[in-house]
Amino acid sequence: MKFLGNKAAVMPLMAITATLALGVPQAGAQGLFEMLFGGGIRHAPQGEFPPPPPKHKPKIPAGGGGVKISGPSYYTYKADRLVRIDFSALTAAPQPAAPQDAAFVPSATGAAFRDAIASLSDYELYAEPDIAKALIAYYSANPDFIWVSGTSLNSRAQDAVRVLGEAASYGLTPADYAVDVPAADSSTADAAARLKDLVRFEMALSARVLRYAHDAQNGRVEPNRMTGYYDFPAKPLDLQGALKTLAHTQEVRTYLESRHPQNPEYQALRVELEALQASAENEIVVDPKLLLKPGETSPELPKLLMLIARNLDDEMGGAYGEVLSRLATSEVYVPELVPVIKAVQQKAGMKGDGVIGPRTVASLAGTSKADRLLKVEVALEELRWLPSDLGSPRVFINQPAFTASYIDNGEEKLKTRVVVGRTTNQTAFFYDQIKQVDFHPYWGVPQSIIVNEMLPRLRSDPGYLDRAGYEVTDSRGNRIPSSAVNWGAYGANIPYSVRQQPSEANALGELKILFPNKHAIYMHDTPQKSFFKQDMRALSHGCVRLQDPRGMAAAVLGTSVDYIAEKLKHGHSTENVTRKIPVYVAYFTAWPDMSGKVEYFGDVYDRDSRLKQALDATEAVRSPSS
């Protein structure tokens, strides 16, 4: 990317400050705009530019009015249909149907296998298209059993069947990997019938083992097909290679379990899943959507008061024990109870406003067992989309938790509050690598914001960008006055770029941390510090605002906060990050802390239910399979 350097020191606070407190219309943050001026964005925080147009609507020329740039959408997930495996390539040819594997050495059961495959002509086995293809290719080049020795199942088969049967411990569905296991060998059994059962078992187990290996490594759904907000690279799996490995190892369990993510977070979620599966439902269940203000009435209130009273410590008991005892059965949220609720909220790290809402309920009653199970199963699925080794050092942003952490050598060196995209301007879920820190950055205004939010004002007041400290350039990079542009002539395709100069009121604050990606999302400072005091911080146009930007910049650059402060004294500049530091812009409503304790968060974008729909669609496709 091209960055503009050699600019003067930071501009003084300008008249634009007056605009910061004014609201702006919500708009999609995913435009077609190329990244501007040092990683300019398609997303931007809210409230950083002049107010919306006056109520009178100027006349809009034909062809240019009412055009909007919309963001990504969600799709109804459709799983790939299973195909019937065509065994004719194996059964029709007296010789291997594909060049025989050079490493293949037939065993004593090789001749029996070649005799047995004739019975596959009428066998109906369904699998995913890539698995069906890999199965035929492998057995064409390696015409022998993997799972059968003589007339019995071998130890490899026994281990594989056990692992597949334990799929629920990983949040997977055991029925997806079930196979009909032939009865133990009997000397009185018909030899031909026995061989037929064995070869069918062979093919079914290979197909289900490959499904398991794929699901463990990649997940059961293709996340990028769910929504444009998901962006994950492919994780190739050599299916034929997997069967070759399994044919030559006695460590079947080790191999299959190694397909799962190998990080402490995945293991902590598995432990939580096991505990939940063995636990009873919450003793006291409170409506998770309860909203109760002082003076209002609800039958849910006594339940909350009981939970508070049951968990009183000495300090809280001394201050509020008498009030709770006297009003334990009150369904009216009387003034005497307000200080109790405020104290409970503050103890839980929330703003003590005295309003009982979902976050207060969750802190006291937790979420139901069913909700927690779904969150953990969803989290396990989502972790399969990420690298098995998350890397160290790394930056981990968890959007539902509204936090960003710098983690190095298993230690959380920094944790800071963040602001993420509003529900109408959602932050994407992806991972990348941190490249550089920009000090006193320019803000390249995304085209979606120019079109959706600035253009209506510009049509009636073409010079307001000049007055507010923005620069306008044409397609050749020449700077021109905003007032000289006939903004009314354009719709969604505006041949001009707009950027905000560095200043105390710049939308990006004093620095930004870049990890170039097609969503043009990055971490940055903000002049709107008050947002960090709120519990629900889905308030931006999509980028990630940091409460402690200097601390995060120092962490990724491997330096001190004092060094960052000194850099900021010298105006606009950039500094490259010389280490490999992955950054995860993640979305987990269940996530373990560094001690392994799983915490639960609200589903701010309602993504868990959409993933559940995709998983259900996958199950619906798989359920008729044999």
Residues with catalytic function: 524, 543
Hey, what are 196's tokens?
């037929």
CA torsion 237-209-220-371 (nearest 10°) is -140
Residues with Cβ within 8 Å of residue 295, at least 6 apart in sequence: 332, 333, 334, 335
Nearest by Cα to 33 from 73, 69, 72 = 69
Cβ atoms of 30 and 449 closer than 8 Å = no
Cβ atoms of 362 and 600 closer than 8 Å = yes
* 40 CA to centre of own chain: 23
At CB < 8 A and 24+ separation, what contacts does 108-114 make?
A: 108/150, 109/144, 109/145, 109/148, 109/149, 109/150, 110/143, 110/144, 112/145, 112/195, 113/143, 113/144, 113/145, 113/199, 113/202, 114/143
Place of tokens 């599966």: 277
Q: Which amino acid does the sequence have at 368? A: S
- Please state, in angstroms and rounded to a whole number, the distance separating the CA atoms of residues 149 and 146: 8
Hey, what are 202's tokens?
């062979």
Fill in the DSSP letter of residue 451: I
- Please state, in angstroms and rounded to a whole number, the distance separating the CA atoms of residues 616 and 77: 9
CA-CA-CA-CA torsion sign (18, 21, 27, 33): positive
